């Protein structure tokens, strides 16, 4: 076997279940969290947005159509935006049947419910602030819920929580509000811009289609706000060959709908 060289990891990257184990259960539901736990996967990713009455909920799209039965339950409420529905209305929706009949009755979880479930499995959370431009002040609100739920204690801060977003402003806001929280920026900034990101983000999390060994090395060359090198968690890799390829590039984590497939792409540690 080739000797491990620059940018080549000796061990398996961290495996993160994208929207839960979303190849096997409806994304961003408690069933998807449970499935990740059943597969023995420690890290779960989710997407957080806000209802009309200010509740934080876990859902990917800015509208309810793809992953719930909102069009049937609330005809005439086009375009079915998350921000135009109350938490009580969203709680009535079926967020599982679209994926498979065995998941009928799955709900869009509140952030609180999602945190309770991941905590009950002793999982770790990569929390994405989705579409923050639609939800002014959501960063502070998310930190409040995390604190109320016990997710800002020393053990969670030390390695069980990362908050990420495609919005650099949102990531910076989280860092400024609570500098002890680890953060990630979703995207592929130019190498020339990395030093600016390193002031407020611990991770640079690019699409796997944009990563190369040189890019990963460039990111690793910067130290993040907590002292260590910037990390790279890449998305969304669902097959073993691509997982091995990006691991060879030196990425620290792989975000995947099929966490068992990615984990099993590497020899046991
Ligand atoms: O965690 C990375 C990935 O989730 C970003 O893209 O659209 O799936 O939220 P998206
Ligand atoms: Ca996401």
Q: Which residues contact 56 (CB under 8 A, 6 or more apart)?
A: 48, 49, 50, 110, 111, 112, 138, 141, 142, 145
Q: Is residue 30 part of a domain?
A: yes
**Domains: count for the chain:** 1
Ligand 1: lining residues by beta carbon, under 6 Å: 18, 45, 47, 60, 128, 186, 235-236, 255
What confidence score (pLDDT) does residue 2 get?
A: 36
Distance 119 CA to ligand 1 centre (A): 22
Is the residue at 92 inside a domain? no
94 is a domain residue = no
**Which residues of the chain register pLDDT less than 50?**
1-7
Would you say residue 9 lies in a domain?
no
Annotated active-site residue 121? The verdict is no
Q: Is residue 213 one of the residues assigned to a domain?
A: yes
From 58, 165, 205, 236, mutation site for ligand 1 pocket: most ligand atoms within 8 A of C-beta: 236
| 18 flagged as catalytic | yes
Question: What is the pLDDT, as a whole number, of residue 5?
Answer: 43
Checking phi first, is residue 127 left (phi over 0); if not, alpha (psi -120 to 50) or beta?
beta
Torsion sign across C-alpha atoms 256, 261, 263, 267: negative
- Identify the residue whose tokens are 């053990």: 155
pLDDT at 207: 98
ipTM of the complex: 0.99
Supply the pLDDT for residue 4: 41
Nearest 5 degrees, angle CA 75-CA 79-CA 85?
Answer: 75
Q: Which residue has a Cα nearest atom 4 of ligand 1?
A: 18
**In-domain check, residue 95:** no
For residue 101, tell me if it sits in a domain: no
What Å distances lie between residue 225 and 13, 181, 220, CA to CA?
22, 10, 13
Q: Residues 97, 104: contact at Cβ < 8 Å?
A: yes
CATH number for position 244: 3.20.20.190
In a domain, 5, yes or no: no
pTM of the predicted protein model? 0.96
Compute, in angstroms, the gap from residue 217 CA to the centroid of ligand 2: 24
**Predicted local distance difference test score (pLDDT) of residue 3:** 38
* Domain residue limits at 170: 14-62+109-263
**Chain segment 52-84, per-residue pLDDT in tens:** 999 999 999 999 999 999 999 999 999 999 999
Kindly give the number of the ligand 1 atom that is closest to the alpha carbon of 126. Answer: 1
């Amino acid at each position: 076997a080739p000797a491990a060289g620059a940018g080549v990891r000796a061990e398996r990257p961290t495996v993160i279940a994208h929207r839960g184990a979303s190849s096997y259960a409806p994304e961003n539901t408690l069933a998807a969290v449970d499935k990740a736990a059943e597969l023995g996967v420690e890290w779960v990713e989710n997407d957080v947005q806000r209802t009309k009455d200010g509740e934080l909920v876990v859902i990917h799209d800015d509208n309810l159509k793809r992953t719930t039965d909102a069009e049937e339950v609330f005809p005439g409420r086009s375009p079915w935006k998350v921000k135009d529905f109350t938490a009580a209305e969203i709680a009535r929706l079926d967020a599982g049947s679209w994926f498979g009949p065995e998941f009928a009755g799955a709900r869009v979880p509140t952030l609180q419910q999602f945190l309770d479930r991941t905590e009950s499995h002793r999982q770790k959370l990569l929390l994405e602030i989705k579409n923050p431009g639609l939800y002014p002040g959501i960063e502070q609100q998310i930190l409040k819920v995390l604190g109320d739920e016990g997710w800002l204690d020393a053990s969670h801060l030390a390695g069980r929580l990362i908050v990420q977003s495609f919005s650099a402003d949102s990531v910076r806001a989280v860092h400024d509000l609570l500098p002890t929280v680890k953060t990630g920026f979703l995207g592929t900034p130019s190498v020339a811009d990395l030093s600016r990101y390193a002031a407020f983000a611990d991770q640079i999390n690019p699409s796997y289609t944009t990563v190369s060994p040189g890019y990963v090395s460039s990111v690793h060359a910067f130290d993040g706000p907590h002292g260590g090198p910037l990390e790279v968690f890449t998305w969304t890799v669902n097959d073993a060959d691509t997982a091995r390829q990006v691991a060879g590039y030196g990425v620290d984590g792989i975000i995947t709908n099929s966490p068992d497939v990615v984990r099993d792409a590497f020899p046991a540690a």
